[in-house]
Amino acid sequence: MRCPTFLPLTTEAAVHAGAHAVLHRATEADRAADACWSSLLAGAEASRCGLDVRLRRLSEATSDYVGTRWWFREGSTYRRRVARAQGFIEDAITEGDGQEFAQSFMGYDHALASALVCTGERGRGKHRARL
């Protein structure tokens, strides 16, 4: 298995948390991101790589894992960061901007991984105070 290129933080957090569905979706999204990146570097049409669908599925898997209630309440900051970064990634693909693509992926990866780690510390979508 190759090391993740675009989602290393999310992949590591999913492995650590035992979030198998998130890990599966992260692997799919990473492969699609790699294909888009290659297209961007080659100056080819990158919009057909299916990355937008893969990112939505990864976000949905993360929402399911952390708990929809947490994702839309206490985790709404993470959810908004993920959505904003995903929008930037899609804009970068449309504009053919490789630098923006890479930078936006860093934000997306960090936001997803942070949500996984945060819920892991608090008990997967539960609302426990830290001791």
pLDDT band (50, 70, 90) for residue 1: low
Q: Is residue 130 part of a domain?
A: no
Q: Is residue 5 part of a domain?
A: no
Q: Is residue 1 part of a domain?
A: no
Query: How far, in Å, CA of 38 to CA of 112, rounded?
Result: 23
Cβ-Cβ contacts under 8 Å for 99 (sequence gap 6 or more) = none
| Structural domain count, the chain | 1
Query: How far, in Å, CA of 67 to CA of 29, rounded?
Result: 21
The CATH number linked to 83 is 1.20.120
Q: What pTM, to 2 d.p., does this model score?
A: 0.86
Element (H, E) at 23: helix 20-42
Domain span at residue 29?
11-121
Query: How far, in Å, CA of 125 to CA of 103, rounded?
Result: 28
Q: Is residue 131 part of a domain?
A: no
Query: How far, in Å, CA of 72 to CA of 81, rounded?
Result: 12
Q: What is the pLDDT of residues 82-108, one digit of tens each?
A: 999 999 999 999 888 889 999 999 999
Q: Is residue 27 part of a domain?
A: yes
